[in-house]
Amino acid sequence: MARAKSLRAIVFVLFFAIGVTAPAQAQQNNMSFFITSVGVGRGGDLGGLEGADLQCQSLAQAAGAGGKTWHAYLSTQGQAEVNAKDRIGNGPWFNAKGVQIASNIADLHNNNKINKETGLDERGMAVKGRGDTPNQHDMLTGTQQDGTAVPGSDDATCSNWTSSTDGGQGSAVVGHHDLIGNSQGPNFWNYSHKTPGFLKRTCSELVAVAFSTALQ
């Protein structure tokens, strides 16, 4: 029963901004990290890393942070393997209310301050977690705790973020922004468990999280 409920939960993905490429637009703060408020509407098919980045950039633009280049905190598998930690610059990173959640890559993966109170969306709104309705604490990463790609041939990335196949095909690693919920394993922000298949149902409600590099 608990597993069935997890299939209906909204899943999130992490995004980071990786640099300032144009004069910053008027902003209320120095946001460089957020959980996206909405998904792309195609399940685990985010359009690959490029499509995921575009979704993040679009939401950041609407929130007044479009002057930075935003990248998704996502890994891919296979011959062209990509590590999520290598996509997001060096930090520091701040949420929409200006709270620093990590100072650098090592801090982000070992001593960060990401939790239910600080894991805000691009508008500065709290994201529902365990105990809320609906539970939205799952965040797509396809990533191990250290920010590297999941090894092996078993799918952990929805076919490198190009698939929303239903019927128990495919899977993706998710983390928990509220750091609770998995009674049989870890509850790290970027690594907790794999989705149990039926990705069309699960991933059709996916949203994402974002980070940026040091502000200039």
Is 50 exceeded by the pLDDT of residue 11? no
Tokens for 53, please give them. 């980045």
DSSP secondary-structure letter at 152? S
pLDDT band at 147 (very low <50, low <70, confident <90, very high): very high
Across the range 163-172, mean pLDDT stands at 70
pLDDT band at 211 (very low <50, low <70, confident <90, very high): low
Range picked from 93-97, 192-196, 211-215 for highest mean pLDDT? 93-97
pLDDT of residue 4: 30
In whole numbers, what is the pLDDT of the chain averaged over residues? Answer: 78
Mean pLDDT along residues 131-143 = 83
- pLDDT for position 134: 74
In this model, does residue 213 exceed pLDDT 50?
no
Among the listed residues 28, 27, 7, 32, the one whose alpha carbon sits nearest the alpha carbon of residue 17:
32
Strand residue runs (E) in the chain: 11-20, 33-35, 68-73, 93-94, 100-102, 138-140, 173-176, 193-194, 209-211
Say whether pLDDT at 142 is over 70: yes
pLDDT at 13: 58
- E-state strands within 51-128: 68-73, 93-94, 100-102
Q: What confidence tens digit (pLDDT) does each residue in 20-46 have?
A: 333 333 344 589 988 888 777 777 788
pLDDT surpassing 70 at residue 103: yes
